Structure 1
Amino acid sequence: MYNKKFNYSSLKELRADLSELDFELPLTENVEILKKEIKLDDLDIPNRIAIHPMEGADANLDGTPSDLTRRRYKRFANGGAGLIWLEAIAVNDSGRANNSQLYLNKDNLSPFKRLVDLINSESKVDPYLVAQLTHSGRFGKNKIIAFRDKYIDSISIEENDFHIITDSELDQLQLDYLQAAKLAVEAGFDAVDIKSCHRYLLSSLLAAYDREGKYGGSYENRTRFLKETIQKIRDNVDIDITVRLNIYDAIPGGWSTDQNGEPDLKETAKLIKELEKIGVQIINITASTPYLKPHINRPYDNGEYIPSEHPLIGVKRLLELTKFTKEQLTKTLVVGTGFSWLRQFGGNTAAGMIEDGWTDLAGFGRQAFAYPNFANDIFENGEMDKTKVCISCSKCAELKANKMKAGCVVRDSEIYLPIYKQLKTQKTS
């Protein structure tokens, strides 16, 4: 039951299963609304399709985009999406997940400028570009943590092989984010994302209930780093600010999560409103961490990992969290999440949700890896090609988690199938 395969051949069949879940998801056959641009102050996004930040783990050793990185973003640019949210870019060397993660600094700015130029020159729609600024925290090469966590320690650190970041180090880290934002302007990005999701460092701070000092304990302390960093950038850098945010952790006692692992969204609602008040222009929805509960933020029905729920329940959860977020806001835009598992019906879902005010944009992650031209097909043909869609096997995520170059093993097999076979050989040897 839990790993039931996607087997819908029509919207009618999908609606039937949604009805069994008592989920009134707006679906429409008319996807014209996805072509509509969005204007907000100086922000201009040419259509409603967004590509989520999907790490390829293929940067050069100095943190610059490799040929494979450039190939990925050229394909995304050709694909027609109005918003391209670039993958995680570390703000300092200690914050890199590994030596294959992008890292923007004053000594390597030119290759990032060339990447932005490539995207703009290859796209016909002048996409809005977001640079996702990050510190990988406990999932990085230096194992820097905000606090000990009984649920995540066993999958991320070894005893005596980690560093609990101090308040003074966090103070300095705010300045690293500020410097990275300044460099993002020079590179040509439209916005920066102060990434606060998936239990990387900033996301972890939101759950630092037992941490002492000014960055832990109370709600004000746990949200301090995120809000102060945003304010520093607002005061000093002329660039839009976005946040990819864990709406809840799905970890017992975690951020906006009760002791049973279920959502308790009072603090999230408060934070979302505060982010809008301090000038965040876009919030991108996600939840939990793929290292512990991958089915929460990435519902799927293929692969070795068997989720504890039907993937449609995971889709329902993400889409309802998107709607919840939109309901808290009056101006800030929302990028919804949870469309890729729906395959060729993701566009119908996105259009219906936008029409009904559940979201402003629809974000696709794995779908973009598998099918980078999906937006063009929706705009030109009114639908995606079911022979090209992501099959939600999560092999791309498996590659990334094992610090190997990540992409679609099924649809981009010439490059990524040999890498995946190498991973499987390593695991069996």
Structure 2
Amino acid sequence: MATFFHYKTIADIEAENARLGIDLRFSEDLAPLWQPLEIAGRRLGNRWCIHPMEGCDGELDGRPGELTFRRYQRFGAGGAKLIWGEACAVVQESRATPRQLWLNEQTVGDFARLVDTCRQAHRQAGENDNDLLIGLQLTHSGRYSYPRPLLATHDPLLVGRYGVTAETPLLSDDDLLRLVDAYVAAARLAVQAGFDFLDIKQCHRYLFSELLGARNRPGRFGGSLENRTRLIRLVLEAVRAVLPSHVLLATRINVYDGIPYQANGQPVPFTTPLANGWGMNLDDPFQPDLREPIEWIGQMRALGVVLVNISMGNPYAQPHIGRPFEYPPPDGYPAPEHPLVGVDRHFRLTAAVQQAFPDLVVVGTGYSYLQEFFPYAGAANIRDARVTCVGLGRLSLAQPDWVRQLREHGRLDRKRICRTFSYCTALMRAKQHPLGQFPTGCPPFDKEVYGPIWKQVQALQPPRRTPEPPPAESSSA
């Protein structure tokens, strides 16, 4: 396995930055990250965001489990003021795993307790929760729904993956229209549970993300940009109509899909123009094309969306796009590009959105790979108006209190820095658990809980060659 991350100083990364011809920026003045922010009448206490990180640790009926509560207690105590709650299914058949959260009449009380747990932990850590915003991501998993694939469109490049064949039927227009009521029902319950914002999820090739690129779908929901955004527009309008004024409307959206990759680290064979796709040049899909994403984000602003979280890629088909890694997940491949190139892609495309909408609150992604240097990149990106808030996903599982560490000590705890070795994804992909899904966390740096779980997974499947996390005194960070 190639080892990429060997940087000891910012200067080391800047030298690599110059060698690769990319545009990563760093600032040792972290003051921009602590600035408060007003979002549609709500106050956010700092610019740090914890990304939606699924723990796959809910109960079979969709309610949060013991480890779910533990995770949000740790997130609440950690100091970030924007906690972007994880994917929650709007209907049972759209769950991505048997343990994905599902908000319904029977589980809403448990979700309310989850919000209370997070807020209470924030206060107990000495924080004021008046400027804490906790959200929930409403989702339909589409082709990745675990009971059976529920397709928005046929993608010839994804045939044969996750049980999808060329004959797998598409959801009908009526099937799609029925989802509007499902999203509204979930939104009402989320308000009842006490969430501060709702994310209508449009990323990672789940249903709404796939609809954005469904150029080859017939009927009202495919072909033109107007048709491809029609269902999401109906959902946004209907959800906004039932939200009280203090609850914000948000979305996490792909701005670039990319091409699926094979186990050898090469892209799948393809012909151009592509049959479908989003945010990329259909004649050269390795090149992003943000014209449609920016047009759609502009339309969503008019529909009431005030908070946009930028992502890209498909974690099942090209994980290096969304999550640049040092070591691939078990269903992945060796990194086909230097991971810093992937980080730069995240920063560049996010900056393009932010610069198109200077007054829109934009949350950026791609920071975890930078390990202990991510705060300096985040500070520079905010300073240069390339992003509004900085989001961390994997790193928050390894070190959920990274915000407090920075504020109180001026640096991260080197013994708990995520090394992007993909242990969390390996747990997510393990399905031999009696409930159909192992819970997901960080075995190297949350050993008390996830170390034994990791040993169970290793005992049930062929050993996976995984690097040991380096000790602090010889950290590769």
Q: TM-score, normalised by structure 2?
A: 0.87
Matches of 1:128 and 1:375, distance apart in 2: 15
| Structure 1 segment 253-402 matched on structure 2, within 5 A | 253=274, 254-257=277-280, 258-262=282-286, 263-303=288-328, 305-402=333-430
Whether contact under 8 Å (1:26, 1:356) holds in the other structure is no
* Counterpart position of 1:235: 241
Matches of 1:78 and 1:93, distance apart in 2: 31
* Counterpart position of 1:21: 20
* Counterpart position of 2:460: 426
* Counterpart position of 1:409: 443
Stretches of structure 2 lacking an aligned partner (at least 5 in a row): 260-269, 431-436, 464-477
Matches of 1:95 and 1:101, distance apart in 2: 10
Equivalent in 136, 143, 146 of residue 141 of structure 2: 136
Considering only aligned residues, what root-mean-square deviation do their CA atoms show, in Å? Answer: 1.7
Identical amino acids, percent of aligned pairs: 37
Whether contact under 8 Å (2:158, 2:164) holds in the other structure is no
> 1:12: Cα distance to partner?
1.1
Matches of 1:374 and 1:146, distance apart in 2: 39
> 1:21: Cα distance to partner?
2.3
Matches of 2:343 and 2:258, distance apart in 1: 15
| Structure 1 segment 209-220 matched on structure 2, within 5 A | 209-220=215-226
* Counterpart position of 1:174: 180
| Structure 1 segment 58-77 matched on structure 2, within 5 A | 58-77=57-76
> 1:163: Cα distance to partner?
4.2
Secondary structure of 1:143 counterpart: coil
Equivalent in 226, 242, 245 of residue 253 of structure 2: 245
Secondary structure of 1:145 counterpart: coil
For each residue in 1:272-314, what CA deviation from the matched residue of structure 2 results, as whole angstroms up to 9, or x when unmatched? 1111222211110110101010010000112463110111111
Whether contact under 8 Å (2:143, 2:164) holds in the other structure is no
Matches of 2:164 and 2:201, distance apart in 1: 25
* Equivalent position amino acid for 1:383 in 2: R
Matches of 1:393 and 1:125, distance apart in 2: 34
* Equivalent position amino acid for 1:81 in 2: A
Secondary structure of 2:284 counterpart: coil
Whether contact under 8 Å (1:85, 1:131) holds in the other structure is yes
* Equivalent position amino acid for 1:26 in 2: R
Distance 1:288 1:24, change over 3 A: closer
Whether contact under 8 Å (1:76, 1:84) holds in the other structure is yes
* Equivalent position amino acid for 2:252 in 1: R
Secondary structure of 2:137 counterpart: strand
Secondary structure of 1:197 counterpart: coil
Whether contact under 8 Å (1:345, 1:384) holds in the other structure is no
* Equivalent position amino acid for 1:394 in 2: S
Whether contact under 8 Å (2:215, 2:222) holds in the other structure is yes
> 1:9: Cα distance to partner?
1.1
Whether contact under 8 Å (2:58, 2:64) holds in the other structure is yes
Whether contact under 8 Å (1:5, 1:302) holds in the other structure is no
Whether contact under 8 Å (2:211, 2:222) holds in the other structure is yes
Matches of 2:283 and 2:456, distance apart in 1: 40
Matches of 2:149 and 2:420, distance apart in 1: 30
* Equivalent position amino acid for 2:112 in 1: K
Whether contact under 8 Å (1:3, 1:311) holds in the other structure is no
* Counterpart position of 2:267: none
Matches of 2:283 and 2:429, distance apart in 1: 27
Matches of 2:408 and 2:232, distance apart in 1: 40
Whether contact under 8 Å (1:272, 1:328) holds in the other structure is no
Whether contact under 8 Å (2:159, 2:166) holds in the other structure is no
Distance 1:422 1:260, change over 3 A: farther
Secondary structure of 2:160 counterpart: helix
Q: TM-score, normalised by structure 1?
A: 0.96
Whether contact under 8 Å (2:215, 2:224) holds in the other structure is yes
* Equivalent position amino acid for 1:139 in 2: Y
> 1:385: Cα distance to partner?
2.3
For each residue in 1:37-80, what CA deviation from the matched residue of structure 2 results, as whole angstroms up to 9, or x when unmatched? 11122222111000000000000111111111000010111110
Stretches of structure 1 lacking an aligned partner (at least 5 in a row): none
Matches of 1:125 and 1:183, distance apart in 2: 25
Matches of 1:282 and 1:416, distance apart in 2: 33
* Equivalent position amino acid for 1:339 in 2: Y
Whether contact under 8 Å (1:30, 1:382) holds in the other structure is no
Distance 1:3 1:333, change over 3 A: farther
Matches of 1:269 and 1:290, distance apart in 2: 23
> 1:128: Cα distance to partner?
0.5
The number of aligned residues is 428
